């Protein structure tokens, strides 16, 4: 079985991006590789696919560019067009659905493309006018739930695009906050089991709990919110579990949120970053609430940086967090056994004009728009 390496792609103000493999064990193996994207304007996002074989970049030049990746070689193979404004973010679907990529833009739309043949891309779905304002973030749900994409918008809503069996697409909305939503991130697919003496097979065995769709949002009101799709009503609802902000909270826009891969059963972890220069790691433990419900989300301050923090990315093992900030660096952080976080590496953006976040950003007016 091939091992999926987590790679962090750092967008920059220029037309270059830097990619770094955080599973590498030495600087020779894991040093940054700079890619001249040939975009005509600043690059806002860069994402490697599930296998690390394709790179997608998005730019203010209103295009998405695709590259084949072979070792340290990046070959441009396609340019995807169709957006009428800066393209803020891209997201790869699981390869179960083929080579599928979603992109979101200042123009209020989400476009979903598929590679039908090698290097030949077709528009699978165009959700134009999906929102009344800029769409700042897009992300595909875990593949076990189907082909579902969530999008965060400056109009204060989160939309859900669901691919149906008849190849049509359904749309649902959740009202998040009036100031706008910058980012979304899905909970991993987790099947939990609860051992009881009077449930399940009656012999004290474990009864599996069906997983449900959950995601976290980061907003312009400085808050994160967690939503779940009710298995009873089929509606999206904000979870009532408290988010404890008594010790730490953000004091400026939350720019990115990242739900960590499931590592320890019964523990959920979310990272959030903000223009207030902080990264918070939120932890929720099962069974700590009333009547065995999950306990409150408890924050830990990972670090206060010198500049605003724009992007976050977890390793597939969930123990390393990559942080991209406005001082032209990506820092890698690892949690110790005592729960404290320490920096394990730094990647300096020596090749261009700054890390993700310097220049125009999602949620802010774009020049010329």
Domain interval for residue 115:
31-175
What predicted TM-score, i.e. pTM, was given to this entire model?
Answer: 0.86
- Give the pLDDT of residue 18: 60
- Give the pLDDT of residue 197: 39
Q: Which helix (H) or strand (E) is 310 found in, with range? A: strand 309-314
**Would residue 215 count as lying in a domain?**
no
Nearest to 324, CA basis, from 43, 39, 28: 43
**Would residue 81 count as lying in a domain?**
yes
- Give the pLDDT of residue 32: 76
State how far the Cα of 245 lies from the Cα of 297, in Å rounded to an integer. Answer: 9
- Give the pLDDT of residue 338: 82
- Give the pLDDT of residue 6: 41
State how far the Cα of 344 lies from the Cα of 257, in Å rounded to an integer. Answer: 21
Strand, helix or coil at 291?
Answer: helix
Phi then psi for residue 145, to 5 deg, are -90, -10
**Would residue 126 count as lying in a domain?**
yes
Low-confidence ranges of the chain (pLDDT < 50): 1-7, 13, 21-28, 194-202, 350-359, 365-369
- Give the pLDDT of residue 7: 47
- At 144, which CATH number? 2.130.10.10
- Give the pLDDT of residue 294: 86
- Give the pLDDT of residue 263: 86
- Give the pLDDT of residue 284: 95
State how far the Cα of 177 lies from the Cα of 350, in Å rounded to an integer. Answer: 38
Nearest to 11, CA basis, from 82, 89, 93: 89
**Would residue 360 count as lying in a domain?**
no
Q: What pLDDT, in 10s, does the model give residues 313-353?
A: 999 889 999 999 998 889 999 988 887 899 998 877 544 44
**Would residue 322 count as lying in a domain?**
no
- The total number of structural domains in the chain stands at 1
- Give the pLDDT of residue 198: 42
| Cα diameter, the chain | 67
């Amino acid at each position: 079985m091939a091992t999926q390496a987590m790679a962090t792609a750092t967008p920059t103000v220029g037309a270059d991006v830097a990619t770094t493999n955080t599973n590498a064990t030495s600087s020779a193996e894991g040093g940054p590789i700079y890619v001249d994207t040939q975009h005509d304007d600043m690059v806002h996002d860069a994402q490697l696919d599930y296998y690390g074989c394709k790179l997608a970049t998005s730019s203010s030049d209103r295009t998405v560019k695709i590259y084949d990746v072979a070792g340290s070689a990046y070959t441009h193979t396609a340019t995807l067009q169709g957006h009428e404004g800066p393209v803020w973010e891209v997201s790869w679907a699981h390869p179960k659905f083929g080579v599928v990529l979603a992109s979101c833009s200042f123009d209020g739309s989400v476009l979903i493309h598929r590679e039908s043949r090698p290097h030949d891309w077709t528009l699978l779905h165009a959700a134009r006018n999906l929102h009344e304002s800029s769409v700042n973030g897009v992300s595909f749900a875990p593949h076990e739930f189907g082909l579902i994409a969530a999008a965060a918008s400056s109009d204060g809503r989160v939309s859900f695009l669901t691919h149906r069996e008849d190849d049509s697409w359904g749309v649902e909305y959740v009202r998040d906050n009036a100031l706008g939503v910058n980012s979304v991130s899905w909970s991993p697919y987790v099947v939990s089991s609860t051992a009881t003496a009077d449930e399940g097979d009656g012999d004290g065995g474990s009864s599996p709990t069906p997983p449900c769709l959950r995601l976290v949002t980061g907003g312009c009101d400085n808050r994160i919110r967690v939503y779940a799709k009710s298995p009873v009503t089929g509606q999206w609802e904000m979870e009532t579990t408290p988010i404890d902000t008594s010790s730490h909270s953000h004091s400026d826009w939350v720019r990115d949120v990242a739900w960590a891969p499931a590592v320890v059963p019964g523990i959920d972890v979310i990272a959030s970053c903000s223009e207030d220069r902080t990264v918070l790691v939120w932890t929720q433990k099962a069974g700590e609430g009333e009547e065995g419900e999950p306990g409150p989300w408890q924050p830990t301050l990972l670090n206060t940086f010198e500049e605003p923090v724009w992007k976050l990315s977890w390793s597939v093992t969930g123990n390393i967090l990559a942080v991209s900030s406005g001082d032209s660096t990506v820092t890698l952080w690892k949690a110790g056994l005592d729960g404290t976080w320490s920096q394990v590496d730094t990647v300096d953006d020596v090749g261009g004009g700054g890390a993700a976040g310097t220049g125009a950003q999602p949620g802010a007016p774009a020049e010329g728009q």
